[in-house]
Amino acid sequence: MRPPNRFGRAVRACLATAVAGVSMAACATVPMTGPVVTSDGNGSEGDPYGGYVRLLPAGPQEGVDPAGLVSGFLQDMGSFEQDYEAARSYMLPETGQEWSPDGTVKVFPDLDTVDLDTEIGGDGLTATVRMRSSMVATIDEGGKYLPGDSERLLEERFVLAREGGDPAGEWRIQSLPDELILSKLDVERTHRPFNLYFFNPEENALVPDPVYLPVSNDELAERLLDRLISGPSDWLDPSVHSSFPEGADPDLEVEEDRVSVSVASGGEADEFGMGAQIAWTLRQLPEIQEFTLTVNGSEVDFPGSEGPSADRPSPGSVYWTEVSPGVTTDTSAYYSHEGRLWSASDWDSDTFGDAEPVPGPLGSGEIPLERFAVSLDEQTLAGITTGGDRVLTSPTASGATAREVLSDGIFTELSWDVNGDLWVVEEIPDESEDEEEQDESAADPPNLNGAQPAPDATALWLLRDGEEVMRVDVSDLGEGPMVDFQIARDGTRAAVVTEVDGQRSLQVGRVVEGSDGQVRLESFIPLAGELDQITEIFWRSADQLVVLGSREGGTSQALLVSVDGGTSSASAGSPVASMVTISGAPGQPLIAGSDDGNIWISNDPLNWQSVVEGGSPTFPG
């Protein structure tokens, strides 16, 4: 593993102050004119408390049988007020006092899918109720939402007894699972996804770690910070690290719009790193306007952080953009037209002709390209040559030369991360079928639009700094080749589309580098299971993808997909049937290319606008 790019406190503070100054100066001109999709780079927008509806529990009904009692209990378990007072009312007094949910949630579709089987004891004083349903998802103790397998069963056992041992007494729950058991609707009503932020290994970008938390009480800031300082989720932990010392026992205090965090550190403290993690985590809570970080008894100053004073920085300050989860801030978009590549920073249809030609052999069209990708610093182009047999890179500068980095293959996808690493997918055909397929397809023209046939197998290559080549272990992906791939800008996660028996699925996996230097893409989490025929994906922000796909056989359209695992996909505008490519970036409009040679933009949830002729529009990444 490459060593972390650690900054000392003074250096990092100076850099952040410089970034703040540049960002404020840049506010005089907006890089893309017209309405812009508002984003701070982490995709977590809106009121986190919005949509919460308090459940008015019915409580246990008089004379209800065991199955009816458990059914009512499941319905009222979504009431979290007064430490689950409603749920405890269904239990025997001693059970209610002892029951302590462990923080895990098991999610079932709805009460209509629940089957309850009752077995009454021989004395008529006890009963066992077995619950069966399908498992939609689980939320682990750390708040990680893990979608379930559609064929996985949820089976739980409840033991009931009559109150006071009286044959005429009401049924109450005597023993029950330690987990909460909630319907999908209850989870949507009571929980919200929030991001905790940790550093990628190179410490040049923060990475969101989505967690689902209840929003029904007033301790949200404390719970977020407690989980932040405790460290990342089990899933993300191998790919990131925290600036907070391991085992830190924080002292947290919230006073209206201000949070105070006090930690002890045994070694040299990364104060900027801790401050950045706190700031990006707290900016999701609109009521928090400032915070104070105290390390080993001394308040930390963050000059230029736009708070009331240096030791009371604002979470929303541009001071923290040095390690923005979105990585990019002001950025151009790139597209092809008339045999060459162009860059545009102004999407107003009246001034789009001011787009600049991209210099260098890959930009000028000197070498025809089938696909291209622009590095995040916009200094390097990578391209797959026509025919797909070579991958070249070249600086975006006049007089530059192209360099061949991969050859003698069938290369299909490529993308860059913030470290300057290039990721490339190669199709590995089944040689025994080549001759037969050539005979069958010789008379048919290639299908250049829509979903392409899946290859027999694929390989993933990583080019360190765009040069040093290594093969990435993707054995954890299971069946099905990769038909689309996009590395997250932070380099710690990747979105992958696979195809098995004609069915495509979207997943996100984590990037882990072992002590032997082997890089693995592993532990895949399914996303947007309701989507069919996904043909294109791109990271819009650090926690959100934009995809081209359809719902249950409907019209293909642009959709926004959160990587938290539980949020349903959302439409990104009215369908434009001819779209074949899609791209996005933090704070920028979505851009798409259509098969009739036009480029479209969207900066609101309803409309797309055709702005210029061209193809394959993309943002860096």
The DSSP-derived string for 526-592 is EE-TTEEEEEEEEEEETTEEEEEEEETT---EEEEEETTSSSPPEE-SS--TTEEEEE--TTS-EEE
Q: Is the pLDDT of residue 518 over 70?
A: yes
Contact 286, 221 (CB under 8 A): no
Q: Is the pLDDT of residue 421 over 50?
A: yes
Reported as a pLDDT band with limits 50, 70 and 90, residue 166 is: very high
Q: Is the pLDDT of residue 582 over 70?
A: yes
Own/partner pairs for 144-152, CB < 8 Å, 24+ apart? 144/210, 144/211, 144/212, 144/233, 144/234, 144/235, 144/565, 145/193, 145/210, 145/211, 145/212, 145/564, 145/565, 145/566, 146/525, 146/565, 147/525, 147/526, 147/527, 147/529, 147/565, 147/566, 148/107, 150/529
Can you tell me the distance from the alpha carbon of 615 to that of 299, in angstroms, rounded to the nearest whole number? 53
Task: Tell me what pLDDT residue 216 has.
Answer: 65
DSSP 8-state assignment for residue 21:
H
Task: Tell me what pLDDT residue 311 has.
Answer: 85
The arithmetic mean of pLDDT across residues 26-44, rounded, is 35
Q: Cβ atoms within 10 A of the Cβ of 100, count?
A: 9
Can you tell me the distance from the alpha carbon of 158 to that of 502, in angstroms, rounded to the nearest whole number? 42
Task: Tell me what pLDDT residue 452 has.
Answer: 54
Task: Tell me what pLDDT residue 367 has.
Answer: 95
The arithmetic mean of pLDDT across residues 187-210, rounded, is 96
Q: What is the per-residue pLDDT across 434-444, written as a single tens digit (0 to 9) for each?
A: 555 455 544 44
**Which residue type occupies 436?**
E
Domains of the chain with bracketed CATH: 9-49+192-323 (no CATH), 66-189 (3.10.450), 333-430+450-618 (2.120.10.30)
Task: Tell me what pLDDT residue 350 has.
Answer: 58
Contact 461, 388 (CB under 8 A): no
Q: Strand 180-183 vs strand 105-108: parallel, antiparallel, or unpaired?
A: parallel
Q: What is the per-residue pLDDT across 242-289, written as a single tens digit (0 to 9) for each?
A: 999 988 889 999 998 999 999 998 888 999 999 999 999 999 999 999
The arithmetic mean of pLDDT across residues 509-524, rounded, is 96
Task: Tell me what pLDDT residue 310 has.
Answer: 84
Q: Is the pLDDT of residue 528 over 90?
A: yes
Reported as a pLDDT band with limits 50, 70 and 90, residue 23 is: very low
Q: What is the per-residue pLDDT across 71-98, written as a single tens digit (0 to 9) for each?
A: 999 999 989 888 899 999 999 999 999 9
DSSP helix/strand/coil, 22: helix
Task: Tell me what pLDDT residue 40 has.
Answer: 43
Q: Is the pLDDT of residue 453 over 80?
A: no
The arithmetic mean of pLDDT across residues 330-351, rounded, is 84
Q: Among 19-33, 120-134, 577-591, where is mean pLDDT lowest?
A: 19-33
Can you tell me the distance from the alpha carbon of 428 to that of 433, in angstroms, rounded to the nearest whole number? 12
Contact 104, 178 (CB under 8 A): yes
Q: Is the pLDDT of residue 490 over 90?
A: yes
Task: Tell me what pLDDT residue 346 has.
Answer: 75
Can you tell me the distance from the alpha carbon of 217 to that of 220, in angstroms, rounded to the nearest whole number? 7
Contact 69, 163 (CB under 8 A): no
Q: What is the mean pLDDT of the chain?
A: 87
The arithmetic mean of pLDDT across residues 345-366, rounded, is 80
Q: Is the pLDDT of residue 380 over 90?
A: yes
Task: Tell me what pLDDT residue 576 has.
Answer: 87
CA angle in degrees (0–180, nearest 5) for 486-487-492: 150
Task: Tell me what pLDDT residue 449 has.
Answer: 43
Reported as a pLDDT band with limits 50, 70 and 90, residue 575 is: confident
Q: Among 26-30, 319-323, 502-506, where is mean pLDDT lowest?
A: 26-30
Contact 561, 569 (CB under 8 A): yes
Can you tell me the distance from the alpha carbon of 576 to that of 358, in angstroms, rounded to the nearest whole number? 28
Task: Tell me what pLDDT residue 45 has.
Answer: 52
Task: Tell me what pLDDT residue 330 has.
Answer: 78
Task: Tell me what pLDDT residue 433 has.
Answer: 53
Task: Tell me what pLDDT residue 278 has.
Answer: 98
Task: Tell me what pLDDT residue 434 has.
Answer: 52
The arithmetic mean of pLDDT across residues 560-567, rounded, is 95
Task: Tell me what pLDDT residue 256 has.
Answer: 86
Structure tokens belonging to residue 477: 């992906």
The arithmetic mean of pLDDT across residues 59-66, rounded, is 96
Q: Is the pLDDT of residue 238 over 90?
A: yes
Task: Tell me what pLDDT residue 53 has.
Answer: 67
CA angle in degrees (0–180, nearest 5) for 288-206-483: 125
Share of the chain above pLDDT 70, in %: 85
